[in-house]
Structure 1
Amino acid sequence: MNIPNSLKACPNWVCWSALPAPKSHSGIKKVPVDPKTGKYAKSNDPQTWSDFDTAVRESAKYSGIGFMFSESPFFGVDIDDCREEIEDYLNGGIDNIIHEIIHCLGSYAEFSQSGNGIHIICRGSLPPGGRRKGKIEMYDNGRFFVMTGKICSDYKDKESDFFYELHDRYAEEMKQEAFICPLCGGRLRHRSGRYGEFFGCENYKTTGWRYTRNIRKKNVN
């Protein structure tokens, strides 16, 4: 499968089964399965995950394989229900959300199981803030991606310099309060310093309180 070796090396793999879900827009519910036991896998229990090869071998009994984000150095961006945008992107269009986010993140991207969405996986942690807005969802724990290996970009090891601009544009609107300094109530701003990038309180010069949140940024390779 066309999945980066850095992802394959993680012991965060599961299988998944498609169960009928008439009320879902896809008509199915994707349930994670422990490849070793055949029981349900849990996003907060690494004992129910496996290595990549085991998941691939056992996936013949199920609907496919998946990747758990908890306790991994990766986060995922899910763009769902965007068939028209995908078609425009595949036809060379650049004025669509698929092109924008793929090239902003510059990391491994693949088509979703339904073919109506895109999954992008990056190395790093998400900044504080919201996790969902409209068709876009971002998460780094408590969830899993169904993996297809059907790549939709050439990016595999390019550093992303624009993720925080992207996050500010979409996710900041989801939950504004997550960008508030807990010490003074001021806004947390994206800054650069001697030791790299971080989020810092906008009022530090007047309050003297230097509250910061570190940023780790390195994409899949």
Structure 2
Amino acid sequence: MTDPPVPTADPLPESMIDRDQWVCWRSEQRDGKATKVPVEPGGGYASATDPDTLRSFSAARTHAVDAGDTGLGLVFTDDDPLVGVDLDDCRDPDTGARFESADDIVERLDSFTEVSPSGIGLHVIVAGDLPAGRNRRGDVELYDSARFFTVAGHHVDGTPDHIPQRPEALAAVHSEYVAPETSAASTSGSNAASQSTSRSAKQGPENRLSDGDLIDCARNAANGEKFRRLWRGSTVGYPSHSEADMALCSLLAFWTGGDADQMDRLFRESGLYREKWDEVHFSDGATYGGRTIERAIAGTDEFYDGGGDDDWDPLGDGDSVNSRTPSMSGDDGGRSVGNSEGDALTTLREELNELERENERLREELAAERAQRADLERQLADRESAGLARYLPWR
């Protein structure tokens, strides 16, 4: 596997370079698939919702160059005017030829555009306001917060080398390529979106949390530790990955007020996200992710309303699994979660598994130290033997 490209500042707009919103990324295997994972320069894993893990361009680039298997990524936040338009599978990596729809979007936005590291996608970065509603349909995604774009520095000829304001063009692209069609079967998440309409009405727009604020509230709530584990991608204590997905979605349903689009957007940023999320799993055309969101909303009876009830805990014991979470019947075992006794056992299993992982880590460290000591002892013996040989008469 070749190392990701690490661009210099030359091909990139100043409005990107000047922002301390950079992370590194590397490819890791998750569920047998290569996934781009954000990395804090000089630290552990980074998060697009944690400003403490973001760095300047120069700091991130220095780390990427030193690491050798790491690329660069720009994080979109609530504090910048940038919107990233991700066009997947739209380009022939050998000829550079683009699909007609991708050409149309690039021409309309008329902003800085580069080829993604894979060579088969395009990233357009534009200044403007992302219209409300869903942010993805098919191979077109738009993000303005809580997300990072890989940056390769492969500027597309003929596109601007800067990032202009394009609010009208952005709205037009969103309306034509992303906003839901009138047909009920137009998008995978339409069922979840329609289910959320009446529920999210309980929470007025003035009480909506931005993605970043929502993550902060969820992390610091009474059940914040459970949310943090799920957000990192831990499935410890759950019989299947799908039940961990449902647990996180139940939390997101509460904090978003049942907003299916925001739930989908946030889940894709979590460590639990996998390609299965977008796969059609039901005869009516619904995807696994869309149906999971729909069920999580249907099983949630109370929602965050901005009134300070950020210590919400459906079980009253710090657990994040909604007691009304429906079972994932027909998928990955179909076991339901959420009863009080089961949650207590889940918590104990998690604690036990945490201890086992810690013991395993310590055993690995001890084995490594012993191997290092044995190697040093061999080196010392070799040197002593070489020094003694100089004085032996038959030498």
Q: Give TM-score scaled by structure 2 length.
A: 0.40
Q: Report the alpha carbon displacement of residue 168 of structure 1 after superposing the two structures with TM.
A: 0.6
Letter in 2 for 1:17: R
When residues 22 and 84 of structure 1 are mapped into structure 2, their CA distance, relative to the original with a 3 A threshold, is: farther
Q: Report the alpha carbon displacement of residue 21 of structure 1 after superposing the two structures with TM.
A: 4.3
Query: 2: CA distance between counterparts of 1:75 and 1:53?
Result: 22
Query: 1: CA distance between counterparts of 2:97 and 2:62?
Result: 35
1:65 to 67, 72, 75: 72
* Greater share of helix: 2
SS in 2 for 1:57: helix
Q: Would the aligned equivalents of 2:64 and 2:71 in 1 still touch at CA under 8 Å?
A: yes
Please name the residue that 1:115 is paired with: 119
SS in 2 for 1:56: helix
Q: Cα deviation per residue 1:143-188 (whole Å; 9 max; x = unaligned)?
A: 1111101011421245434221111112211667799xx7xxxxxx
Residue 41 of structure 1 pairs with residue 46 of structure 2 = yes
SS in 2 for 1:88: coil
Q: Which moved more, 1:149-158 or 1:59-68?
A: 149-158
Residue 154 of structure 1 pairs with residue 162 of structure 2 = no
Letter in 2 for 1:4: P
SS in 1 for 2:131: coil
Q: Cα deviation per residue 1:116-147 (whole Å; 9 max; x = unaligned)?
A: 10011112220112111111011111211111
* Greater share of strand: 1
Please name the residue that 2:88 is paired with: 80
2:171 to 124, 144, 164: 164
Greater C-alpha radius of gyration: 2
Please name the residue that 2:259 is paired with: none
Q: Would the aligned equivalents of 1:106 and 1:159 in 2 still touch at CA under 8 Å?
A: no
Letter in 2 for 1:78: D
When residues 42 and 106 of structure 1 are mapped into structure 2, their CA distance, relative to the original with a 3 A threshold, is: same
Question: Structure 2, unaligned stretches of length 5 or more?
Answer: 1-7, 181-186, 202-395
Kindly indicate whether structure 1 or structure 2 has the higher relative contact order, using CA contacts under 8 Å at least 6 residues apart: 1
Please name the residue that 1:10 is paired with: 19
Q: Would the aligned equivalents of 1:79 and 1:135 in 2 still touch at CA under 8 Å?
A: yes
Letter in 2 for 1:63: T
Letter in 1 for 2:89: D
Q: Cα deviation per residue 1:40-78 (whole Å; 9 max; x = unaligned)?
A: 001111000101110011112142110111233211010
Question: Structure 1, unaligned stretches of length 5 or more?
Answer: 90-94, 183-221
Query: 2: CA distance between counterparts of 1:16 and 1:40?
Result: 9
Q: Give TM-score scaled by structure 1 length.
A: 0.70
Query: 2: CA distance between counterparts of 1:157 and 1:17?
Result: 26
Q: Would the aligned equivalents of 1:69 and 1:144 in 2 still touch at CA under 8 Å?
A: yes
Q: Would the aligned equivalents of 1:102 and 1:109 in 2 still touch at CA under 8 Å?
A: yes
Q: Would the aligned equivalents of 1:36 and 1:50 in 2 still touch at CA under 8 Å?
A: no
Query: 2: CA distance between counterparts of 1:83 and 1:128?
Result: 28
Mapping 1:190-209, distance limit 5 Å: none
Q: Cα deviation per residue 1:83-128 (whole Å; 9 max; x = unaligned)?
A: 3498334xxxxx7022101111111110001001001111222011
SS in 1 for 2:105: helix
Please name the residue that 2:101 is paired with: 97
RMSD of aligned alpha carbons? 2.7
1:127 to 131, 135, 140: 131
Query: 2: CA distance between counterparts of 1:148 and 1:114?
Result: 9
SS in 1 for 2:73: strand
